[in-house]
Amino acid sequence: MVNKLWFFMIIFGIASFIIKGDNSLIKVITESSQRSVELLISLVGIMAFWSGVMRICEKSGIVDIFSRFLSLPLRFIFPGLYERSKPAFFNIIMNITSNMLGLSNAATPFGLKAMEELQRINPKKDTASDYMVTFLIINSASLQIIPTTLISLRASLGSKEPYDIITPIIITSSVSIIIALLLDKLFQRFK
């Protein structure tokens, strides 16, 4: 899909240059590459800082503390899962907590493991179980408290207030996660 999108943008873009009789295409490409490399260079420093912090965060076991707070609401959201499969429940908690703290590199392995554990207790192996659907819908609402990449990117783009977006993001994600769960329950009931 990204393949098609990229191809479409390049072809349509270049064709528009030709149709308009505009011959600044090479200039655009040159400037674009220069800007991208400048962006990457300024991104390295601030990303390095946040990755350092997140590494300490990971090693300190702070994720476990956060995950304890999540245990109760998640038992409610995934009714009966804790009793049926502790590993699935544990991996879901770790995935959601890691995502919340912006540790997306750590989150993916937990998420994939959670899916495998959920598949183990799934009666219909080719159809997503209720647990799986709920889990992925929560993931789609993307609840992040410390969006490290985004903060770093905004800082490299010269923002005076790169952190200002944290509160709006938490509000947006929290509201959409509640709506997501309601929609999920609604679909589960009527389908």
Site for other proteins in 30-89 (CB under 8 A): 31-33, 35-37, 39-40, 43-44, 47-57, 59-62
Please name the residue ranges forming H helices in 78-123. Answer: 81-84, 86-100, 104-120
Cβ at position 82, least distance to other proteins in Å: 20
Which one among 81, 127, 131, 189 touches other proteins, defined by CB under 8 A? 127
Q: Alpha-carbon distance 73 to 28, whole Å? A: 51
User: How many binding residues for other proteins (CB under 8 A)?
Assistant: 92
CA dihedral 87, 141, 132, 55 (to 10 degrees): -30
CA 99 to chain centre: 7
Which range touches other proteins (CB under 8 A), out of 21-29, 70-78, 82-90?
A: 21-29
Residue 76 CB, nearest approach to other proteins (Å): 19
Residue with tokens 């308009």: 20
Residue 17 token pair = 């240059």
Site string for other proteins, 85-114 (x = CB under 8 A): --------------------x--x--xx--
The CB-of-187 to other proteins minimum distance in angstroms stands at 4
- Nearer Cβ to other proteins, position 82 or 162? 162
Q: Which helix (H) or strand (E) holds 85?
A: none
CB of 121 to other proteins, least distance (A): 12
Q: Is 183 helix (H, G, I), strand (E, B) or coil?
A: helix
Q: H-helix or E-strand containing 27?
A: helix 25-59
**What is the C-alpha R_g of the chain?**
21
For the bound state, the minimum distance from the C-beta of residue 88 to other proteins, rounded and expressed in Å, comes to 12
Q: How far is it, in rounded angstroms, from Cα 189 to Cα 191?
A: 6
Give 53 or 71: the residue with its C-beta nearer to other proteins. 53
Site residues for other proteins, 147-186, by CB under 8 A, read 147, 149-150, 153-154, 157-161, 163-166, 168-169, 171-173, 175-176, 179-180, 183-184
143: left (phi over 0), alpha (psi -120 to 50) or beta: beta
Of 10, 68, 69, 121, which lies in the binding site for other proteins, with binding defined by CB under 8 A?
10
